[in-house]
Amino acid sequence: MTLKRYRTATPSKRRHMMRSAWRRIITVLYYRRIFRAIGAKSILYKDIIVINSEFIKIGSGVTIRGGSRLEVVLHNQGWLPRLEIGNNVNIEQNVHIVCHDRVLIGDDVSIAPMCAIVDTKHPYQVCEEGKKIGSAIDPERSAVIIGANSFLGVGATILPGVTIGEQCVIGAGSVVTRDIPPGSVVAGSPAKVIGSVFSKRVKQTDVSEKS
């Protein structure tokens, strides 16, 4: 924030600039001490839930809005979990990211509000043992990888074991259950490839034709 920009800004913009400056100070003084790593010029807004932050790495120029959840789950797995967010990533309000294996988000990724990215599975078979489904974690590895410069629309859900290639667009409300090739535009539940970011217009295409 420069003094010239502040002086020429509207009152509401000035308030926003002051809040951003304050949150950047909080990020440096507090969050930089609890995360495994966090890069320069990153801003974490208030009301963020962070669990097991020592396994979380955040790049430079990252913005994470309020209501978001960054959680690493520990259940005596035979590996160290990794939740890594690349550079220049924006994560909007109420995004939930839960990791027990690996969740790797590439550089320049945009994640719209209400998205969920999870690599955890809850086996329903535990009901036979009288256990709560939500408390049980499948011990198998199930990493989620999101390629650089991809965009996740509002309310998209990325399920365990999925790799999304670079420069993909995931439509609002999509549920991604399988790997997505680079440059794909997908939509639906379950999500299907409907086009390419490199084509002039998106054409309806069955996912089987892309496989």
Residue type at position 152:
L
Which one is catalytic: 16, 75, 96, 122? 122
- Active-site residue, 122 included: yes
Q: Give the whole-angstrom CA distance, residue 78 versus residue 167.
A: 33
Q: Which residues pair with 19 in a beta bridge?
A: none
Name the residues annotated as catalytic: 122
